[in-house]
Structure 1
Amino acid sequence: MLRWLLLIPFALVMAMAAGLVAMMVASVVSPGLALLIGGGFERLLDALFGLADLGIDPGPTAEAAFVLLGRLGFAIIVAPVVLVAVGCELFSLRSGLIQSGLTGLLAALLPLGMLGLARAPTGAEVQVLGGLVLVGAATGFVYWLIAGRSAGGERREPV
């Protein structure tokens, strides 16, 4: 019980922090991901200040943009590692490869499904998806290092 109350939440928070660091590293390495992160914020700020210069209240636009950013952050960093961690705990899956791989796969597929891509991704989008897979794999690996190696609690020896 102590494992579910202390160790698993701690491991999830550390994994999410590692995911944010991995996202920053990936944005330095990948121009597509850097453009998505940095260019998106730059465009958002330009749009908000442009609305303010025109005398239009930028509040609703800012609110909508930050809600979307929160959902994307949740879909990339939080949801994949939590879903895989709970599944691995319930089914006693202790493999680091399974936890990293599934978290990486979900980190790429959840935002893709959320945006509803109805066409084949371009080369830059494939590069971004590859970066998201690596970010997800990093979060899954950090979770596995802290709590996943003993997923499901103590192993019971056959009698």
Structure 2
Amino acid sequence: MLRWILLIPFACIVAMGAGMFFLAMASVASPAVALLIGGGIERLVDILFGLAESGIDPAPAAQAAFALIGRLGLAIIVVPVVLVAIGSELFRLRSGLLQSGFTGLLAALLPLAMLRLSRAPSPAEIQIISGLFLVGAATGFVYWLIAGRQAGGERPAQP
């Protein structure tokens, strides 16, 4: 029980912090991911200041943009590692490859599902999807290092 109260939440929080670090590293390694993260924020700030300069209240646009950024952050960093952590504990999946792979898959697919991408992705979007997969896989691996190797607790002894 102590595992569910202390170790698993601690491992998830550390993995999420590592995921933020890996996302920053992905933005350094990939121009497409950098454009998504840095370029998107830069454009958002330019738009908000442009609205303010023209006398339009930028608060509604800012609230909507930051809500979308928050949902994307949840879909990329938080939800994948938490879902895989719960699933690995319930089904006693102790494989680092499975935990990394499932977390990476969710980190790549959840933002796409949230944005309802209904067409074939462009090469730049494929590069972003690949970067998100690698960020998720690294996040899942960090969780596995801390808590995933003993997923599900002790197994009963075989007779």
- Structure 2 counterpart of 1:25, which letter? M
Report the alpha carbon displacement of residue 118 of structure 1 after superposing the two structures with TM: 1.1
Structure 2, unmatched stretches of 5+, are none
For residues 113-155 of structure 1, the C-alpha deviation after alignment (integer angstroms, 9 at most, x for no partner) is: 1111111000000000000000000110000000000000012
State whether structure 2 residue 151 is matched by structure 1 residue 147.
no
Tell me how large the CA RMSD over aligned residues is. Answer: 0.5
- Structure 1 counterpart of 2:157, which letter? E
Match of 1:158 in 2: 158
State whether structure 2 residue 126 is matched by structure 1 residue 123.
no
Structure 1, unmatched stretches of 5+, are none
Cα separation, 1, equivalents of 2:116 and 2:59: 26
Match of 1:49 in 2: 49
Aligned residues: 159
Match of 2:84 in 1: 84
TM-score, structure 2 normalization: 0.99
Cα separation, 2, equivalents of 1:22 and 1:155: 33
Match of 2:136 in 1: 136
Cα separation, 1, equivalents of 2:83 and 2:3: 17
State whether structure 2 residue 17 is matched by structure 1 residue 17.
yes
> Equivalent pairs: percent with the same residue?
71
Cα separation, 2, equivalents of 1:158 and 1:36: 51
- Could you list the runs of 4 or more consecutive aligned residues of structure 1 that deviate by over 4 angstroms after TM superposition? none
TM-score, structure 1 normalization: 0.99
Cα separation, 2, equivalents of 1:46 and 1:25: 24
